[in-house]
Amino acid sequence: MPDRYRIPNSVFIGCPWRTVRPKYERCAKQLEKRFPLAVILIDSAETPDAQQLFTLIKERLAESSLALFDVTGGNANVSLEFGLAEGYGVSRRLLLSTHRSSRRAGDTPIIADLAGATRLNYTSEPGLLRHLTQLFEQHPYTIRFERFLSNRYRHRSGPQKKRLRTLAVKTIHLARRQADGRPPLRREVVERLGGDAAGYSEAEINAVLADLHTSGLVRVGPGRYSRIEIT
């Protein structure tokens, strides 16, 4: 899949739905507060039709910059998703819970086709969060984001740096593609941030948007109805 189809900050996570998924959902909430990366966890409940679900999974995988797969229990769907990511040329990593309770009778610890692949083992949710945090820190988009913050706001005070960082992270997350597949309007993002509990002013929001655009982290036009895209 050519790079032009990738969303640079999109991270796809494939994992067993019933037992493992809740751990990733809790970790994702923490990670998205700190990092400018968008976690993609497909919810089968929202797409009950099997064919539509498979199509959605393929689309989200193809556009992701990184795909993480939890092979705990030897889930066949996760193996299929891993194969798709490999075919699309998406950077990918494997994770595996080695906790005794994760190994039920009859489960395959590692799917046969993936047995030779390097994996990150964890025994608890904090251990999983540590692995994910490290992967997010090493992600190219995070590195670009941190470089932008360091260069653009290096002369600001500590509290100002923290506020601007949080605003920049929130701005990037609000720039996620909408349900119809289109990037959000600048007006929508500014209005959402204007209603944030942190009390961001419109001038403050537009200044950060301009900085993100100049840095190449997002692309946005000058008009209220221009669309914001992750770049």
CATH of the domain at 15: 3.40.50.450
Domain residues for 177?
Answer: 141-230
Kindly report whether the global pTM for this prediction surpasses the value 0.85. Answer: yes
Are 164 and 57 found together in one domain? no
Segments in 2-106 forming alpha helices (H): 21-34, 50-62, 76-88
Are 194 and 149 found together in one domain? yes
Are 17 and 28 found together in one domain? yes
Beta bridge partners of 218: 230
Can you tell me the mean pLDDT for 185-192? 97
DSSP3 helix / strand / coil % (the chain, rounded to 5): 50, 15, 35
Q: How many domains does the chain have?
A: 2
- Helices vs strands, H then E, count in the chain: 8, 7
**Cα(159)–Cα(225) distance, integer angstroms:** 32
Encode pLDDT of 14-41 as tens digits.
998 888 999 999 999 999 999 999 999 9
- Domain final residue, candidates 90, 115, 138: 138
Can you tell me the mean pLDDT for 215-228? 95
Are 31 and 113 found together in one domain? yes
Are 131 and 18 found together in one domain? yes
Encode pLDDT of 136-145 as tens digits.
999 999 999 9
CATH of the domain at 206: 1.10.10
**Cα(2)–Cα(13) distance, integer angstroms:** 20
